[in-house]
Each structure stands twice: as C-alpha cells, then as structure tokens.
Amino acid sequence: MTDRLSAREILAALIQFPTVSRDSNLPLIDWVEEYLGTHGIAAHRHWNEDRSKAALFAHVGPDEEGGVILSGHTDVVPTDGQDWTRPAFELTEADGKLFGRGTTDMKGFDALAIWALVEAHHAGVRRPMQIALSYDEEVGCTGAPPLIAAMQGVVPRARDVIVGEPTTMQAVTGHKGGISFWVHVHGFEVHSSILYKGVSAIMEGAKLITWANEVNAEQAAAKPSDLAALFDPPYTNVHIGQISGGTAHNITAKDCEFGLGFRVVPGEDPLSWRERLLDKVAEIEAGMKAIRPEASIEVVDTFSLPTFVPEEDNSAEALVRQLTGDNASHHVSYGTEASHFQATGYKAVVCGPGDIAVAHQPDEYITVAEFEKGRHFMRRLVENLSA
Ligand SMILES: [Zn+2]
C-alpha cells in the first residue's frame, strides 16, 4: 500500500469495516494508521478504557501551532431491523450514488480528510493540517472530549476545526446543546382504596411531567434572546419520550420510570437546566417523604452535550466560507462534536458532504456529485494551507 489511494478507494476501504458504535473500530484504525505510515505520517492513538476502541489523530506540515483540524467520527449506527437492498458494509455504486453504511454519516468526510492529509503532506503545506477521528459519536458524542484532551501537548495546538458532518458543504455555525436523564420514582404500594397511606410513583412522576409542560409553555411565551432567535424553536424545551410504571389499576404504583431531556439553546447552560430539574425533584420528593420516608426520586444523568454557539469572529467559519463561497448563515437542530471543540477553545465550523436526511437510513448513500464537491473543497483547502 505504498501508492497514493484516491479518495474513493479510501472510502471503499473504510466502508468495509462494520464500525457500529457498540463494536470495536480497531480494524479501521489499524488500516488508517498503516496507510498514513506508508506515506511517512505518524499517527497517534487514544484508547478507550478497555482498549476495545481507539481514536486517531495526526499532524502534517510545519511543527507549529495554528493549523486546521479535520474532525470526523469512525462509528456508524446499526443496520439491525433496516431493510437494506444492498450490502451495508461494501461500497457499491448505482445511478450516481455511492451506497454503504456511513457513506454520508460520515466516512465520506473521513475518507476525504485522510486523502487531504496525504495530499497536504506531499504538497508541503506551510500551515499545519491535522485529522482527528473519534469513536462513540453516535452514542452521545462521548468520544470527542477524551480525544481532544489526548491531542494537547502531543501535536501542536491547532486553531480551526472543520467537523465534517453532512451539511451539503454549507457552513453550519451553531446548534443546540442537550442534557438528558433517566428518572426513577420510587413510591409506596398500598391498595388504592387507602390511597392516602401510600405514594403513587405514577402520580408523583406526573407532577414532574406537568412541570415539564409548564416549562415549555413558559419558554415558548418568553421573548427569545438574539442567539436563541437563530434556532427553531427559539427556546429550550424539555421532552419525555418514554415512560413505564405500575402493576394494577387498584394498587398505587411502586415504580414509575421515564426518560426526560432538554434541548438547550445557545446562550443557556445545559447544567443550569439540570439544577432547575433537581430543584423541582427535591420539592416533589419532600411531599412524598412526608407520607412515606422510603419514597424517593432517583435521577441518573444519561447524556449531555454543550451548545455550539454562533460566534462573531470565527476563523474556522471564515476559512470555510472562503473555500465554498457560501456566505449564508446555517444553524441546525442536531448535535455534533463541534460543541466539544468550541468548549475547549477552538474555532469550529460544521461542514461536510452529503445530506443529513439520508444519514442512519437503510441504503444510505452519498451522491458522486456531493463526494466530488467534498474532494474539490479539500483540494482548495490544501492549496490554501500551502499559500
Ligand atoms: Zn455523524
């Protein structure tokens, strides 16, 4: 493998590794490390705790700060229960489309980034280029913070980050953050004829759900901040997507469990919503304990992602605008690793080939035209860093 592979050949190589988030991504990381090695590019790994997965990062160009990171995730969502008419883990082409799990989300960008890194290395860029390939993005962007931490001091600190989630190559400069919880209400079982002696986990849980509805109404009625006004809807909302509890119509429920999550607009801190929730939980719990001291509400943190805040002077955004010619403002409703990079002081922008609408779908594809658009972008980036 000493030759320079085309971006398309790299994509075919990446697609063949079934790097579903629950499984290891090591065969893919081995392949990337070996391929970069044949070009004399040293790659670094950051392992997860049980060493079943690794992130990879690499630096080319002068040994100095201020470069550009191309950031992608290596994991993909499962294909279980999906109706695929083609092999999911083999790149196939038909009707101007390249099919395979991850072609859009986001091995298409990963392939282009690896291709661009090798091009930049051979072109002898004057400003550094780096790649950062994470794991566990699809299960809550949990792989990015340890990867970012691992890069510090090992490669020179870059300034700008391009996170290549599929945006059809538009510059996305902001998204909401989020924070989610699993709530377990522990009640006290009695026959419903003597309800006042028991604690119904369902009816107490319902108080928290009523509060959620009140929060949504209050948020919707408030005047949005300038930052919040960029998003749809222009406010933080809270949602309960799953619930279970109770055993019989005439027994007060001993258990009620539900998943509760906030989608938080930039300008607000997800952790402040956590505090508001816990305040309300404490208030409801006090009422429950007054009846039965063993009753309680348990709240487990399940997910959190910082907001990605649109910034006035964003050099990563300026770079991408210069390369794409797109001067419009774009904000999205899904979360990305860009917020983790921003939270650690980088300038970040989300921009990558493909349409988010086909991500996670059966027969996922990227059009040849979009992939070529991405390759053209990378070609211009290498020129820009060489100038
Ligand atoms: Zn993705």
Other C-beta atoms within 10 Å of 113: how many?
A: 29
pLDDT in tens, 334-346: 899 999 999 999 9
pLDDT in tens, 174-224: 999 999 999 999 999 999 999 999 999 999 999 999 999 999 999 999 999
Distance 25 CA to ligand 1 centre (A): 15
Other C-beta atoms within 10 Å of 58: how many?
A: 22
Quote the DSSP letter at residue 106.
Answer: I
Q: Which helix (H) or strand (E) holds 315?
A: helix 315-324
pLDDT in tens, 126-161: 999 999 999 999 998 999 999 999 999 999 999 999
296, two tokens: 């309680």
pLDDT in tens, 8-25: 999 999 999 999 999 999
User: What span, in angstroms and rounded, lies between the C-alpha atoms of 42 and 38?
Assistant: 9
Counts for the chain of helices (H) and strands (E), in that order: 9, 15
Distance 106 CA to ligand 1 centre (A): 5
pLDDT tops 50 at residue 3: yes
Distance 271 CA to ligand 1 centre (A): 24
Distance 139 CA to ligand 1 centre (A): 10
Distance 348 CA to ligand 1 centre (A): 16
pLDDT tops 60 at residue 27: yes
pLDDT tops 80 at residue 254: yes
Distance 165 CA to ligand 1 centre (A): 5
- Residues near 298 by Cβ (< 8 Å), separated by ≥ 6? 183, 184, 185, 186
pLDDT of residue 334: 85
pLDDT tops 50 at residue 330: yes
Distance 72 CA to ligand 1 centre (A): 8
- Give this prediction's pTM: 0.91
pLDDT in tens, 366-382: 999 999 999 999 999 99
